[in-house]
Structure 1
Amino acid sequence: MSLPKTMKAVVIAGKGGPEVLQLQDMPLPQPAPGEVLIKVAAAGVNRPDVLQRQGSYPPPKGHSELPGLEVSGVIAGLGDGVQRFSQGDEVLALLSGGGYAEYAVAPELCCIKKAEALSFVEAAAIPETFFTVWHNVFERGGLKSGEKFLVHGGTSGIGVTAIQLAKAFGAYVLTTVGSDEKCEAARALGADVAINYRTQDFAKVIKTETDGHGVDVILDIVGGDYIEKNIRSLAEDGRLVSIGFQNGSTATIDFMRVMLKRLTITGSTLRIRSNEFKGHIARAIEEKVLPLIVAGKIKVPIDGTFPLDRAGEAHARMESSSHIGKIVLTVA
């Protein structure tokens, strides 16, 4: 495959609003040992991309300064030592950055072969949310069949993924969303209870829906004043997993409640973890989740697509919080 020396890529031209995302010519990245070069077909848009643009979520040292944590496409080049893939293979990949571009490099360990049944747009919407949800809900949170599970932001990329995965593995699923329309969308994805947080107190609804027992696992992307309510909403031996702080990362909580109910409070961020760790999650997704997606038992809801040169519009859509599902950039 003949490769160009340059490519089009979206750069963050100073922290600020969506308008700081600009399409520019950049040198073609070169795959290091253990990495592959991907000709990008589509790139997922995620909340961390917005935070990076705003200046509050810098990439790990030594990684691409370009935004974009997930892509799908065709392998166009191989670094030394790559064994799992060949040129021409269609893949989806989790990145530490660099996805908003015509070409991107990814660790071989963090790539998954794309199933023929998936479009490139659907494939690009999988890595960031599915890796994140799998690790935090099932590995850190230890969610089991028959348990009760709450996810906040049920129509976000994380939310639509968490609802479906939890339901597919036998949990009773509750979620919070910001409108009655989103309640309907969440229930259509499998949520047993959808709570409009603008008109209802989710802690009170959960108390009623669980006969006062609470839920076993909570996945929280909100933080702030939700943290104390989460603790009140957990059952004995419940687990709170925090992965985002849209309302802030600090709160005042009563640790006596934590002690008496034997609660576990944990959290994680995926971007800074090692390639080996991410590879462990990739293999779990390949084995336990991808077959459910291919079979149609789990969907990859797409809110909308934008061409690469309209990345700013994609960010504005995400910041409006009106989206239901994933937002994806397409690369010609």
Structure 2
Amino acid sequence: GFGINRADTLQRQGRYPPPPGESEILGLEVAGTVIEVADDVNHWKVGDNVFGLVAGGGCAEEVVVLSSHLMPMPEALSFAEAAGLAEVFLTAFQCLRTIAHVKPADKVLIHGGASGVGLAATQLCRLWGIEAAVTASSPEKLAYCEQNGAALCINYTQDDFAKVINQAWPEGVSMVLDMVAGDYLNRNLSVLRQDGIVVYLAMLAGRYADNLDMALLLGKRARIQGTTLRNRSDEYKSQLVADFSATCLPAFNSGALKVNIDTQYRIDDIAKTHQRLEHNNTQGKLVVCWS
């Protein structure tokens, strides 16, 4: 099977081309059984159940994947769950650990809390002893976030998240993980503690930020960083996969981490997956299975 991601809908619309040299077929994450290995690969064998990242081409019955971009499928997971694991958890892991270097007792703010990445990031925070505040658009989504470990849940349609954060956590947060962008920038900076970081990984509310308050930026000694995963080098992804495998993969068998599947579809219904994702009413991952 394979997972459906926002990048797939954007690529279909002609707004997010694949990296040079990569397949133009949609699909960034897969799960399945190894049917062939290259002569120089000795850590996988035919019959292994695996999951991992591809830079394109995942929406296919057979997929070629770099061996170092694969991970062993946890025994506790189904193929559908494994198909929805790699992209969201590796993205969240990259933002939290590789970029922001969060540590136990930190506090973070996660926008888009009920999205696949948002739920993955919230679970990783809980696993590492970090308090996570999340924003979402409905009581149902916020309840789901709380089930996944969110310590503070904010309905952004009713409350100003910056006011809620500053009231609940006056010392501020070490990191803001933002896939919304748009007019959030100054409010994100306002909730940061000294030397905090805002990490942007999408721009659902628009590509242009409001007028940057340089006094906030300088006063907080804040960092603002954008990131993507798809166009990273193969070497970067290999190291990310190795780090995640070593530190987080066992937690899926213990139940400390889980893959939140919103809906599982058959291949004939793939158009419905894009429609559902574009309506922004998902709670977790959309996955497609061949059987």
- Fold match (TM-score > 0.5): yes
TM-score between both structures, scaled by the size of structure 1: 0.85
* 1:239 and 1:263 in contact (8 A); partners too: yes
Q: How does 1:151-300 map to 2 (within 5 A)?
A: 151-211=110-170, 213-251=171-209, 252-300=211-259
Write out per-residue CA displacement over residues 18-42 of structure 1, whole angstroms, 9 at most, x where no aligned residue.
xxxxxxxxxxxxxxxxxxxxxxxx1
Q: How big is the alpha-carbon RMSD for the aligned residues of Structure 1 and Structure 2?
A: 1.0
Instruction: Tell me the amino acid that sits aligned with residue 188 of structure 2.
Output: N
Note if contact 1:153-1:176 (Cα within 8 Å) is conserved in structure 2: yes
Deviation string 1:225-273 (CA, Å, 9 cap, x unpaired) is: 0122111121111111110111122222112211111111112111111
Q: Secondary structure at the match of 1:305?
A: strand
Match of 1:116 in 2: 75
Partner in structure 1 of residue 270 of structure 2 = 311
Quote the residue 2:62 is aligned against: 103
Contact 1:91–1:112 under 8 Å retained in 2: yes
In the alignment of these two chains, the number of paired residues is 290
Distance 1:311 1:80 in 2: 35
Deviations 1:200-225 (A, max 9, x none): 111111111112x2211111001110
Q: Distance in 2 between matches of 1:314 and 1:283?
A: 30
User: 1:136 touches 1:267 (CA, 8 Å); kept in 2?
Assistant: no
Mapped partners of 2:126, 2:72: distance in 1:
25
Q: Where in structure 1 are there 5+ consecutive unaligned residues?
A: 1-41
- Deviation, 1:80, is 4.1
Distance in structure 1 (CA, Å) of the matches to 2:281 and 2:232: 31
What is the distance in 2 between the residues matched to 1:294 and 1:138?
Answer: 21
Q: Secondary structure at the match of 2:134?
A: strand
Task: Give the aligned partner of residue 86 of structure 2.
Answer: 127
The secondary structure found in structure 2 opposite 1:206 is helix
Output one character per residue of 1:302-328: Cα deviation in whole Å (capped at 9) or x when no partner. 111111121110111111211111110
CA distance in structure 2 between the aligned counterparts of 1:285 and 1:123, rounded to whole angstroms: 14
Look up the equivalent residue of 2:33 and give its one-letter code: V
Whole-Å Cα distance in 2 between the matches of residues 195 and 51 of structure 1?
Answer: 28
Partners of 1:218 and 1:230 within 8 A in 2: yes
Deviations 1:269-310 (A, max 9, x none): 111111111011111121111111110011111111111121
Deviation at 1:87, TM superposition (A): 1.2
Q: Greater strand percent: which structure?
A: 1
Bigger-Rg structure (1/2): 1
**2:281 is equivalent to residue 325 of structure 1:** no
The answer on 1:49 being equivalent to 2:8 is yes
Partner Cα distance (1:189, 1:135) in 2: 19
Output the CA distance in 1 between the equivalents of 2:68 and 2:3.
Answer: 19
| Identity rate, percent | 39
Gaps of 5+ in 2: none
8 Å Cα contact 1:152-1:159 kept in structure 2: yes
Equivalent position amino acid for 2:275 in 1: A
Residues 101 and 308, structure 1, Cα contact 8 Å, conserved in 2: no
- Secondary structure at 1:134 match in 2: helix
CA distance in 1, matches of 2:36, 2:284: 32
Q: Could you give the per-residue CA deviations for residues 138-164 of structure 1, whole angstroms, max 9, x where no partner exists?
A: 110111110111110111000110000
4+ long deviations beyond 3 Å:
none
Deviations 1:125-147 (A, max 9, x none): 11101111111111101111101
| Cα distance between partner residues in 1 of 2:181 and 2:55 | 24
3-state SS in 2 of match to 1:58: coil
Letter in 1 for 2:205: N
Residue in 2 that maps onto 1:21:
none
